Structure 1
Amino acid sequence: MTLPSSSIICKNLKSALSNPSCVSELLQSEVSKGYLLGPFDSIPYTNFHINPIGLAEHKYSKKKRLIVDLSAPHENADHPSLNELIDKEEFSLQYVTIDDAIHLIKKLGSKSWLIKTDITDAFKIMPLKQDLWPFHGIQWDNKFYFFKRLVFGCRSSPKIFDTLSTAICWIAQNKYGIKNILHLLDDFLVIEPLEANAQATMTRLLNMFKELGIPLSAKKTEGPCVVLEYLGISLDTNKMEARLPREKIVRIKEIIDSFSRRNKCTKRELLSLLGHLNFACRVIVPGRSFVSHLIKLSTRVKKLSHHVHIKACRPDLVMWSKFLNNWNGVSFFLNDNIVKAADMQLFTDATLTSFGGFLPKSLVSRQFSGRFDINRRILYCIFRTLPHRYGLRTLGALLA
């Protein structure tokens, strides 16, 4: 990382200025926990960056948190921001996905035990190098403060913190015998087979964090159990399925309905919509085909405040509405091995009035009783031809 060669003081964001009492309270909490150095009447460094602060409110819980804009100043060649000086490639990070958890559950089998926990004040337990303190400065109420711990919003923070999480997983596996552990930054998931003593595993996990001196959130520590929400998705090892929580289905439907009535929106709003749809795609796999147009639209303008026309995307939003209105929010854990129809010697054909299907030891020929489009007729034909021993999971693998 290249250190800034010039000093700058940036103005705070409107969100902070409009709620000064909340900002003061949050700052005092940071100081009391030892995360912030200060307050100072004057800046104690010759070369420094004073970055803008603001308030972010969680859309649903309404909880407020302090944010630091380390990408400021924006588009200023004379004073590059701290994030501009951090190499993107060096600090890129590939995160664990819900598919990784599902893959491990399938490996360990039905009714596997699930345990999860979460580190409290995650980034802030990691110290900053002292020579970086001057560039993580903020100003409030004519006083100056400097962060001594990793800052949420710094380009390098996730990768740096992930080195700790990766080390924790190594310690768990090699020193505490907890073999099946995943992490996404500060979130940890442990999966144990049915025959394991999962309660003993839970005890070892908690003891490990205690001995390492890493604080955990009691509210976010759960298990051992067979149904657990991880990364916003409910995992059920008893039924071997993943589910979108009902309240999230309702929320996404409301958002889609709102966008369906609009002709344009800002890039920021479009990215928010894409965030919700990509989240739903973790379970609604076919939905991935109906976000590509929206993604392309989001790249046509540069600034978040710029508007894009979304009228042409209404068919995609209509399809998403159909997914959410006619689907129960459940996705089976499909077999990782894709079974091709030719390998099974499965052959089918359908007309407007009847269908036929062949599988070794199985021959089906029937008439359609209802009026369906040809795609549904073909799907129905495949389903009726497959014996019950293959089931829906095989059908899903065939269609994947």
Structure 2
Amino acid sequence: MARMDIVSAFRLLILHPDEFVLFGFRFQDNFYFQKALPMGCSAACALFEKFSCFLEWLVRFQSHKESIEHYLDDFLLAGEARSGECLHLMNNFRTICSDIGVPLAEEKTLGPTCIMTFLGLEIDTLEMVIRIPQDKLTEVKGKLELTIKKRKITLRDLQSLVGSLNFCAKAIPSVRAFNRRFCDAMCGIQRSNHFIRVTLGMKEDIKTWLTFLENFNGTLAFGESEWLSNSKIHLFTDSAGNPDLGCGVYFSGRWAYFQWPSSWGKH
């Protein structure tokens, strides 16, 4: 894999002279106006996305490779191990950008490599998993451990916590459901400095999140390009809610059984 980034992305798009009047101001008898697309423009992302899509298509066309994706100005390139495809894509991308005048942030260029961070998540093609980087993991754990000690939390801080948890949920399977109580607690509240009670249920969800972050980070495997039905691979599961029972799985002639912990029958 490799990662390449465009410098001053939005500023590459030049405004039409007829639009200058919409992007200027007067100060001390002088007129100042933008000649390139500013970041604060509400349409800036959508306009630049069109250019990014064109650039991605051009690299695919010139390199005859399909393994390139982008998110605005961040480009992810990939190729089979020891094939040279990734390096070929990088060189092709760099040449095209040079030819059409698109500057690259060489200090942000990374690869070819098997492990790297892209859009805040660590991609590991050796283990074929996605995980949360250690610094981000430490930050989110700190927020959770601070919140569980509180009786009340402001709407602003709870929104920040939920935003971080939603991000982490991309790398930890099935954990997003434990955000439900947090989201319900924020419903109908408008002032960011309003205090929200941290209920026992919310604290139980925080404990669950801490468990997931500790034990299940880096277990989300890459999805298969072709999904097979359970009847085709002979995979079946079932469970029973009675605390004296448990769950079982059957896979191609093999089976396993797990009995619910005795402590679960007390809840």
Structures share fold, TM-score greater than 0.5: yes
Using the TM superposition, give the Cα deviation of residue 168 of structure 1 relative to its aligned residue in structure 2, in angstroms.
0.2
Aligned partner of 1:309 in structure 2 is: 196
The structure that has the greater radius of gyration is: 1
Aligned partner of 1:333 in structure 2 is: 222
Aligned match for 1:240, one of 103, 125, 128: 128
Asked if 1:187 corresponds to 2:65, the answer is: no
Aligned match for 2:163, one of 267, 275, 281: 275
Asked if 1:293 corresponds to 2:185, the answer is: no
Aligned partner of 2:35 in structure 1 is: 148
Using the TM superposition, give the Cα deviation of residue 302 of structure 1 relative to its aligned residue in structure 2, in angstroms.
3.3
Q: Which structure has more RCO (C-alpha within 8 Å, separation ≥ 6)?
A: 2
Asked if 1:362 corresponds to 2:254, the answer is: yes
Aligned match for 2:106, one of 218, 226, 230: 218
Aligned partner of 2:44 in structure 1 is: 157
Classify 1:263/1:142 alpha carbon distance in 2 versus 1 (closer, same or farther; 3 Å).
farther
- C-alpha contact (below 8 Å) 1:264/1:307 kept by paired residues: no
User: 2:17 is matched by which residue type in structure 1?
Assistant: Q
Distance, in Å, in 2 between the alignment partners of 1:265 and 1:133 is 46
Per-residue deviation, residues 277-328 of structure 1 (Å, max 9, x unmatched)? 111011012221012333344442335x342514133332222122123334
Per-residue deviation, residues 174-199 of structure 1 (Å, max 9, x unmatched)? 13324221110000011212363232
Aligned partner of 2:234 in structure 1 is: 344
Aligned partner of 1:319 in structure 2 is: 208
Distance, in Å, in 2 between the alignment partners of 1:143 and 1:311 is 55
Distance, in Å, in 2 between the alignment partners of 1:299 and 1:143 is 48
Q: How does 1:106-185 map to 2 (within 5 A)?
A: 114-137=1-24, 145-185=32-72
Using the TM superposition, give the Cα deviation of residue 116 of structure 1 relative to its aligned residue in structure 2, in angstroms.
1.3
- C-alpha contact (below 8 Å) 2:155/2:196 kept by paired residues: no
Aligned partner of 2:147 in structure 1 is: 259
Using the TM superposition, give the Cα deviation of residue 342 of structure 1 relative to its aligned residue in structure 2, in angstroms.
10
Distance, in Å, in 2 between the alignment partners of 1:363 and 1:353 is 16
Using the TM superposition, give the Cα deviation of residue 126 of structure 1 relative to its aligned residue in structure 2, in angstroms.
1.6
Using the TM superposition, give the Cα deviation of residue 224 of structure 1 relative to its aligned residue in structure 2, in angstroms.
1.5
Asked if 1:284 corresponds to 2:176, the answer is: no
Distance, in Å, in 2 between the alignment partners of 1:150 and 1:237 is 37
Aligned partner of 1:20 in structure 2 is: none
Distance, in Å, in 1 between the alignment partners of 2:160 and 2:106 is 30
Per-residue deviation, residues 51-71 of structure 1 (Å, max 9, x unmatched)? xxxxxxxxxxxxxxxxxxxxx
- C-alpha contact (below 8 Å) 2:131/2:172 kept by paired residues: no
Using the TM superposition, give the Cα deviation of residue 122 of structure 1 relative to its aligned residue in structure 2, in angstroms.
1.2
Per-residue deviation, residues 326-368 of structure 1 (Å, max 9, x unmatched)? 33444222446365489726466677489876556336679x7
Per-residue deviation, residues 254-294 of structure 1 (Å, max 9, x unmatched)? 01122223344444333322221111011012221012333
Using the TM superposition, give the Cα deviation of residue 233 of structure 1 relative to its aligned residue in structure 2, in angstroms.
1.1
SS of the equivalent of 2:116 reads strand
TM-score normalised by L of structure 2 = 0.80
User: 1:172 is matched by which residue type in structure 2?
Assistant: V
Using the TM superposition, give the Cα deviation of residue 140 of structure 1 relative to its aligned residue in structure 2, in angstroms.
8.9
Using the TM superposition, give the Cα deviation of residue 215 of structure 1 relative to its aligned residue in structure 2, in angstroms.
0.4
Aligned partner of 1:197 in structure 2 is: 84
SS of the equivalent of 1:234 reads strand
* Alignment root-mean-square deviation, CA: 3.4
Among the aligned pairs, what percent are the same residue?
25
Per-residue deviation, residues 208-230 of structure 1 (Å, max 9, x unmatched)? 11111000001111111221211
Distance, in Å, in 2 between the alignment partners of 1:126 and 1:133 is 13
Classify 1:354/1:158 alpha carbon distance in 2 versus 1 (closer, same or farther; 3 Å).
closer
- C-alpha contact (below 8 Å) 1:249/1:329 kept by paired residues: no
Distance, in Å, in 2 between the alignment partners of 1:184 and 1:363 is 43
Q: Which is further off, 199-208 or 338-347?
A: 338-347
